[in-house]
Amino acid sequence: DGVTVAKEIDLEDKFENMGAQMVKEVASKTNDEAGDGTTTATILAQAIIKEGCKYVTAGMNPLDLKRGIDTAVNHIKEKLIASSKKVKYIFVTGGVLSSLGKGIAAASIGSLLECSGLKITILKLDPYINIDPGTMNPFQHGEVYVTDDGAETDLDLGHYERFTHAKMRRANSVTAGRIYHNVIQKERKGEYLGATVQVIPHITDEIKKHIRLVGSGVDVVICEIGGTVGDIESLPFLEAIRQFRFDVKPKDVLYVHLTLVPYIKTAGELKTKPTQHSVQKLREIGIQPDVLLCRTEKKLSKSIKEKIALFCSVETNSVITAMDVTSIYEAPLSYEKEGICKIILEKLGIKGKEPNLERWQKINQVLQKPDGEVKIGIVGKYVDLKESYKSLTEALVHGGIGNKVRVIFDWVEAEALEKENGITLLKACDGVLVPGGFGERGIEGKIRAVQFARENKVPYFGICLGMHCAAIEFARNVAHLKNANSGEFSTTSPYLVIDLLPDQNTKGDKGGTMRLGEYPCQLRKKSNAYNAYGKREIEERHRHRYEFNNMYRIQMEEAGLVFSGLSPNGNLVEIIEVKDHPWFLAGQFHPEFKSSPMNPHPLFRDFIASSLKYRSNNHKS
């Protein structure tokens, strides 16, 4: 990028070199802020003006300074042009109905392009007015996925990271709310010079700016448009991507449309009319799809493909059968059977090798022919909508892949455990997991699940709120802190073992006010955590407000609680374990956000291994 190039500049003329050295100094100062090319250029330009004024004030000849700056900037431009790559753009839209799997489609295409030797990134454009999904109801939206830089995003970004090597950040998730917020702020600052601010061009220009923003250093940007074609909310985004093809060269843009071809059992036929109408709606907006992904439960015949191609003005070989699959990790293989990677590369004019799918084949071999199985009880409060725990269930599957076994989910409603004999719901489980969540509902049921696992030596894995419940249960039943609780649920408990930190503000905005993103943690040797990771220093992603209360650390440690993971300064408890238990571990962070089928997270891998051992010792078949 420009920062890197700027740091390498040296000129022979000593006066001109002073100007060049100033640019180098500017580059060093702006490096932490600079990310994509646009941001880098803007920051460098602003800083050059600021630093240049300082040099002139200090007595430097302005003409010598200007010659040095001009030469340095030209050098940067030449280097950047020489090393730059033409970015291609793939836009993925969906029609007919929601939940067809646009996120999986985008992630699968990204993975196949990576397997062909290309560097990709993926962007999600969501049409809702929320700034981000951080405060949205899990029953409506599903999981909130957290990136390394602390962005609260759509769960599809989890699919992007699990399927590809691309690292997601805040710029990879954009909502209509954020777009409108940015435009309104610019209008208030007078940046539109008195113009009437409208959807076209101001909103669409802002959308296009965000699309370009993620394109630095990659070969292909894959952009998924949330919602369904025909929804009023999606119109500004669809208009923006329509314009985008003409802002860049048309051959640098590809439109992929995911649609439905339902099978009518009574008629014994596949029906193409929904696809025809969906494409018709897209063409009314001005977008002609280049590739059609036809979601279906039956393979499309040649005649069906030809019919769709005829009515939708798409080449026959670009009508792709997107078969229903038993595992989402079959999708890349399913798409490649249809030759989608070659089609995309040809249409975009990219030279790429044939994709190497060996890793996907190995993963699916384990999923289809596992050596055994293990049952994990997931004690949650959002179990009616499994999407609320998407990354969690996928991480458990990854742990199973790492142990070559199938993981069976036993969903347990936390409130059901509060009833008499409710704990019997867990007796068939080989391991118990209490995931993250917010609010008081179901807490006592989760605490009972912790007690069951601790007393019966059943492997226990607590995540975020699951750690809070573990600390509360241990405080009540082992450390003799009667009625111990969390400040999130109680203001009257005499022992708030979980509470806000003294400097945390309990009032004001809810959105984006938690401990969010990646934080370092140091592990204690001779612990289950250290055995899993195999190293002392780790980094994990967080999403929470409440922390372990250090007032009770000594008392609970003396009672047998092991603090196996702490922040580098020792002030924050990140991982707790129970002494003399085969595998009882609870973390303040969300390890599921860093797991993938190619690289199962160490804690999930070891949790499944411990659960397998428990199953074997209890002679379960």
pLDDT digit string (tens) for 371-399?
999 999 999 988 888 889 999 999 999 99
Place 79 in a pLDDT band, splitting at 50, 70 and 90.
Answer: low
Domain with CATH 3.40.50.300 in the chain: 88-362
What predicted TM-score, i.e. pTM, was given to this entire model?
0.86
Question: In the chain, what percentage of residues exceed pLDDT 70?
Answer: 89
Please state the rounded mean pLDDT for residues 460-467.
97
- Cα within 13 Å of Cα(223), Cβ side: 30
Q: So what's the pLDDT on residue 433?
A: 98
Lowest mean pLDDT segment, chosen from 11-15, 314-318, 416-420, 503-507 = 11-15
Extract the tokens encoding 467.
């750690």
**433 phi and psi angles, rounded to 5 deg:** -125, 125
Mean pLDDT of the region 328-344: 97
Residues 202-213 have pLDDT tens digits of 999 999 999 999
Q: Which residues contact 59 (CB under 8 A, 6 or more apart)?
A: none
**Per-residue model confidence (pLDDT) at position 35:** 47
- Could you say which of 3.40.50.300, 3.50.50.60, 3.40.50.620, 1.10.540.10 is the CATH number of the domain covering 88-362? 3.40.50.300
Per DSSP, what are the bridge partners of residue 83? none
How open is the CA angle 449-553-441, to the nearest 5 degrees?
35
Residue 32 burial (C-beta neighbours within 10 Å; 0-12, 13-18, 19+): exposed
Which of residues 55 and 190 earns the better pLDDT score? 190
362, containing H or E segment: helix 358-368
- Rounded Cα gap, residues 240 and 124, in angstroms: 14
For residue 378, the model assigns a pLDDT of 97
In percent, the amount of the chain with pLDDT more than 90 equals 76
What is the Cα–Cα distance from 550 to 569, expressed in whole angstroms? Answer: 13
Helix crossing, 102-115 with 340-348: angle to 10°? Answer: 80
Which pLDDT score is estimated for 385? 81
Contact (CB, 8 A) for 392 and 435: yes
**Per-residue pLDDT reduced to its tens digit, 40-54:** 565 666 677 777 777
Encoding tokens for residue 532? 């899993």
Residue 75's pLDDT is 72
**Position 69 confidence tier, pLDDT thresholds 50, 70, 90:** confident
Higher pLDDT, 89 or 352: 89
Domain boundaries for CATH 3.40.50.880 within the chain: 370-496+511-617
| Euclidean distance between CA atoms 78 and 533, whole angstroms | 45
The continuous run of DSSP H or E covering 254 comes out as: strand 253-260
Q: What's the first-to-final CA gap in the chain, in angstroms?
A: 57
Residue 521 binned pLDDT confidence (cut-offs 50, 70, 90): very high
Summarize pLDDT for 557-584 with one digit per residue, the tens.
Answer: 999 999 999 999 999 999 999 999 999 9
Among 139-153, 233-247, 256-270, 337-351, the range scoring the smallest mean pLDDT is 139-153
- Phi and psi torsions of 386, nearest 5°: -60, -25
Look at the block and give the residue holding tokens 């919602």: 227
Check: CB of residue 564 under 8 Å from CB of residue 577.
yes
113-165 pLDDT tens trace: 999 999 999 999 999 999 998 888 776 778 999 999 999 999 999 999 999 99
- The mean per-residue pLDDT over the stretch 72-93 comes to 78
How confident is the model at residue 33, as a pLDDT?
Answer: 46
d(CA 256, CA 65): 51
3 state DSSP class of 421: coil
Tokens 């078949």 locate to: 621
Task: State mean pLDDT over 222-243.
Answer: 96
How far apart (Å, rounded) are the C-alpha atoms in residues 612 and 399?
A: 11
Indicate whether 323 pLDDT > 80.
Answer: yes
Distance CA 164, CA 156 (A): 12
**What are the residue numbers of the active site?**
464, 590, 592
Amino acid at 170: R
SS3 content of the chain, % helix, strand, coil (to 5): 45, 20, 35
Residue 361 scores a pLDDT above 90: yes
b/e code 149-175 from CB counts within 10 Å (16+ = b): bbbbbbbbbbbbbbbbebebbbbbbbb
Distance CA 58, CA 466 (A): 59
**Which segment of 70-84, 157-171, 301-315, 463-477 scores lowest on mean pLDDT?**
70-84
Cis peptide before 201 (omega within 30 of 0): yes
For the stretch 5-38, pLDDT in tens is 444 544 455 445 555 555 555 555 545 444 445 5
Length of the chain: 621
pLDDT of residue 7: 45
* Averaged pLDDT score across all residues of the chain: 90
Q: Give me the residues paired with residue 373 across strands.
A: 406
Q: Which residues contact 18 (CB under 8 A, 6 or more apart)?
A: 55, 60, 64, 65, 68
Statement: 370-496+511-617 belongs to CATH 3.40.50.880: yes
